[in-house]
Chains A and B, each alone.
Chain A
Amino acid sequence: MDLSATLGRLTLRNPILVASGTFGYAREMAGLVDFSKLGGIVPKTVTQKPRPGNAPPRTVETASGMLNAIGLDNDGIDHFIAHHLPYLRTLPTAIIANIAGKSEDEFVQMAEQIGKESGLAALELNLSCPNVSGGVDFAIHPEVTHRVIERVRAVCPLPLIAKLTPNVTDVVAIARAAADGGADCVSLINTIMGMAIDWKKRRPILGNTTGGLSGPAIKPVALRMVWQVARQVKVPVIGIGGIATVDDVMEFLVAGASAVQMGTVNFYDPSAAMRVVGQLPEALGVLGASSIREVVGTLD
């Protein structure tokens, strides 16, 4: 069985990654998760300056899902490079840093800075975080998406993954702009903007009022978007959204994802990603396949 996943310049041991913001800085999972089993780890988004994050409550459970408005709580890129990267680069799996800028310039400066560091397999650009002040996702315009990736491309040698928001009318147009701008692949979806209300208090439940929906509830939306993008855009796609089981992974591969990221499931089943990797060979066997490649984008 060949479980390896090919994403342009990036080759992974297997197609199972853990998603940014849902696996901390990996340290937290040491001992429970055998990192060498994973295709890769995307640590929590880093911003240029430290951010305290949003006021609590930051998460609330919804039907088969959850809303979050963490607000990119992190200690900034210098701290990431000094304190988290030295640990991450020792781990026996691919590490894909994830950054978010408040402006194009911030994206470019951070990409340049982190691109000089050793031990990273790729860089994911979080073009889609809906919880930063302003409330508007970054990559909702194809032109902005194209330009920021082109500029990052020029200063950063790492394979680039553009992480896209589902909170747009035409995700394909954004994905195409990312590909044209020089992204090696696109990953989707980030969370879907949502809200929860305590009607007795007439108040929103989240400290930030709105938040991003994730978990099994969003899988059909993610699957649809991955399928649309994979058949219309030429770069490889990383599928994200509600993936919790090996069946979910196979659905995304068939829909056209070359790899996947598991997110919210890490919260409620911390060994899920590792377990799913172990179940992949049997699932491939069901389709008579002996490699991941053979099933990617094979929807009839």
Chain B
Amino acid sequence: MELATAPRFLQVTSRVAENVLLARNTFRIRLHAPELAARIRPGQFLMVRLAGTSDPLLGRPFALYDTVLDAQDRPIALDVVYLVVGKMTTRLATLRPDDRVELWGPLGNGFPDLSGREHVALVAGGIGQTPFLAHVRELLGKRGYGGDPARRRVQRVSLYYGVRTADLAAGVEDFERAGAAVHVASDDGSVGFHGFVTQLLGRHEPPAHLVGCGPEPMLRALANLAGTWKVPCHLSLETPMACGVGICFSCVTRVRTDDGWDYRRVCVEGPVFDAANLARDDRTGMHHG
């Protein structure tokens, strides 16, 4: 049984430090939130809500892109990268420095500790690259998170990143600077490999571990490739969330159980799952939605 002691997450009003364009329709917003930045770990997320309005009403989940340190190397802010897709993100894109948002987090389980693996491949599609920057930096010992000191955990990290078209590729330089070998694929061939990111990945040597984040068809292809290669694979899922903290039961996905499957909350039991533990919907072949 869990113990109800230390706060599992915090709710704070946060000041926007900057909100800059990274790629077409894609922004990086920097939010001043020292306590949250000190605790959040790669693969975890936070909920962001616009203050003072009931429309949009609910918060939206955003993965940690990276934490920001002050001059004394103390975490002071966190970055989130978002694609403008709807009512909330359209409004988010209009925020200026010193505007306020409501935040709560850190939420979710985060990525597993992959210490000791020689080569880890991170596979992203669409806006699914966002949780991976902090992960690369942690794996390569560039930065510690959640109070951990920086420590190199793996020899090599590759990012396989699939986009629809070149001008949607966001943050490639950030990943290169963090030390990842970046391989880009695009649906229209306008940048990198012409085709699916999982096809590109399939042309390389299997890594010791795979981690994926992106659209459902990509995750399915990745899980299949992992199965063929017999390489362990974790997937970070994105399901519709209302609360992010486990109280609404919106965000469920099918997880294998002893007697078949059961719906489990992605916001508390995930968002990162061992692909082998996910059960697909027989009707749709999908993990969710």
Partner-B contacts on A (CB < 8 A)? 21-24, 27-32, 44, 52-53, 55-61, 63-66, 68, 70, 73, 83, 86-87, 215-216, 244, 264, 266-271
Known contacts A53-B263, A57-B240, A60-B240; is-contact A28 B57 (Cβ 8 Å): no
**28 sample A-B contacts, Cβ–Cβ < 8 Å, listed by A number:** A21-B249, A22-B248, A23-B247, A24-B245, A24-B248, A27-B2, A28-B245, A30-B2, A30-B5, A32-B8, A32-B10, A32-B11, A53-B249, A57-B250, A58-B240, A59-B242, A61-B57, A61-B242, A63-B55, A64-B55, A66-B242, A70-B248, A73-B249, A73-B263, A267-B58, A267-B247, A267-B248, A269-B102
CB-defined contacts of B54 to chain A, threshold 8 Å: 64, 215-216, 244
Q: Does B104 have its Cβ within 8 Å of any Cβ on chain A?
A: yes
Q: Inside 8 A of A61's CB, which chain B residues have their CB?
A: 56-58, 242
User: Looking across the interface, which residue of chain A has its beta carbon closest to that of B1?
Assistant: A87
CA–CA, A29 and B59, complex, Å: 16
> Would you give the shortest CB distance from A38 to chain B, in whole angstroms?
14
Indicate if B95 sits at the interface (CB-CB under 8 A): no
Task: Determine the distance from Cα of A27 to Cα of B240 in the docked complex, in whole angstroms.
Answer: 22
Name the contact of A31 in the complex, choosing from B9, B240, B268 (C-beta under 8 A): B9
Contacting pair B249 A28 (CB below 8 A): no
Residue in B1, B5, B49, B289 whose CB lies within 8 Å of A268: B49
Which of chain A's residues have a CB closer than 8 A to the CB of B102?
269
Bound-state CA distance A189–B153 (Å) is 53
For residue A181, give the distance in angstroms from its CB to the closest CB of chain B.
30
| B267 nearest in chain A by CB position | A28
Measured CB to CB, the closest approach of chain A to B229, in angstroms, equals 29
- The answer to whether B247 touches A56 (Cβ under 8 A) is no
Residue with the greatest number of chain A CB neighbours at <10 A, chosen from B6, B55, B289? B55
What residue of chain A has the Cβ atom nearest to residue B287's Cβ? A56
Among A30, A63, A86, A267, the most chain B Cβ lie within 10 Å of the Cβ of A267
Chain B residues 222 to 281 lying within 8 A of chain A, measured CB to CB, are 239-240, 242-243, 245-253, 262-263, 268, 281
- B71 is an interface residue with CB less than 8 A from chain A: no
Bound together, the chains give a CA A244 to CA B57 distance in angstroms of: 11
B183 within 8 A of A: no
Count how many pairs of residues, one from A and one from B, have CB atoms less than 8 Å apart in the complex.
117
- Given the known inter-chain contacts A31-B4, A87-B1, please indicate yes or no for A58 contacting B249, CB distance below 8 A: yes
- Give the top 9 A-B pairs by smallest Cβ distance, nearest first: A30-B4, A31-B7, A24-B247, A28-B246, A267-B243, A59-B250, A64-B54, A216-B54, A31-B8
How far apart sit A269 and B254, CA to CA, in the bound complex (Å)? 28
B142 interface hit (Cβ, 8 Å) = no
Quick one: which of A31, A53, A271 contacts B5, CB cutoff 8 A?
A: A31
With A and B bound together, what is the CA distance between A32 and B246 in angstroms?
13
A27 to B8, CA, bound (A): 10
Contact of A271 with B11 at beta-carbon distance under 8 Å, contacts A56-B288, A215-B54 already known: yes
CA distance A30 to B3 in the complex (A): 9
Beyond A56-B239, A56-B288, A61-B58, whether A29 also contacts B245 by CB under 8 A is yes
For residue B239, which residue of chain A has the nearest CB?
A56
The majority secondary structure among interface residues of chain B is loop
- Give, as a whole number of angstroms, the nearest-CB distance from B2 to chain A: 6
Tell me if A28 and B4 are in contact (CB < 8 A): no
Contacts A56-B289, A60-B240; A268 near B59 (Cβ below 8 A) = yes
Point out the residues of chain A lying under 8 angstroms from B6, CB to CB.
Answer: 31
Given A61-B58, A64-B54, A268-B58, A30 contacting B252 (CB threshold 8 A): no
B4 lies within 8 A of A268 (CB) = no
Q: A55 to B281, Cβ gap below 8 A?
A: yes
Picked from A22, A86, A270, the residue with its CB within 8 Å of the CB of B104 is: A270
In whole angstroms, how far apart are the Cα atoms of A248 and B50 in the complex?
Answer: 20
Q: Which residue of B lies closest to A242 (CB)?
A: B54
Determine how close the nearest CB of chain B comes to the CB of A4; give it in whole angstroms.
25
Do the beta carbons of A22 and B247 come within 8 Å of each other?
yes
State whether A70 touches B10 (Cβ < 8 A): no
CB distance from B173 to the nearest CB of A (A): 34
- CB-CB under 8 A from A268, the residues of chain B are 49, 57-59, 242-243
Q: How far is the CA of A66 from the CA of B241 in the complex (A)?
A: 11
Question: For residue B288, which residues in chain A have a CB less than 8 angstroms away from its CB?
Answer: 56
Give A32 Cβ to nearest chain B Cβ, in Å: 6
Residues of A within 8 Å of B5, CB to CB, are 30-31
Shortest distance in angstroms between B231's beta carbon and chain A's nearest beta carbon?
28
> Nearest Cβ in chain A — how far from B287, in angstroms?
10
Residues of A within 8 Å of B243, CB to CB, are 266-268, 270
A267/B242 contact (C-beta < 8 A), A61-B57, A73-B252 known: yes
Instruction: Name the A residues within 8 Å of B10 (CB-CB).
Output: 32
Q: A70-B248, A264-B57 are in contact. List 13 more A-B contacts (CB 8 A).
A: A31-B5, A31-B8, A32-B245, A53-B249, A56-B240, A56-B253, A57-B250, A59-B242, A59-B250, A70-B250, A86-B1, A267-B247, A268-B57
- Contact A32–B7 (Cβ < 8 Å): yes
Min CB–CB distance A268 → chain B (angstroms): 5
For the complex, what is the distance from the CA of A63 to the CA of B54, rounded to whole Å?
8
Provide the B148-192 mask, 1 if CB < 8 A to any CB of A, else 0. 000000000000000000000000000000000000000000000
Given contacts A27-B2, A266-B247, contact A52 B262 (CB under 8 A): yes
Q: B248 to chain A: which residues have CB within 8 Å?
A: 21-22, 24, 59, 68, 70, 267
Choose one: A30, A44, A58, A66; the contact of B58 (CB below 8 Å).
Answer: A66
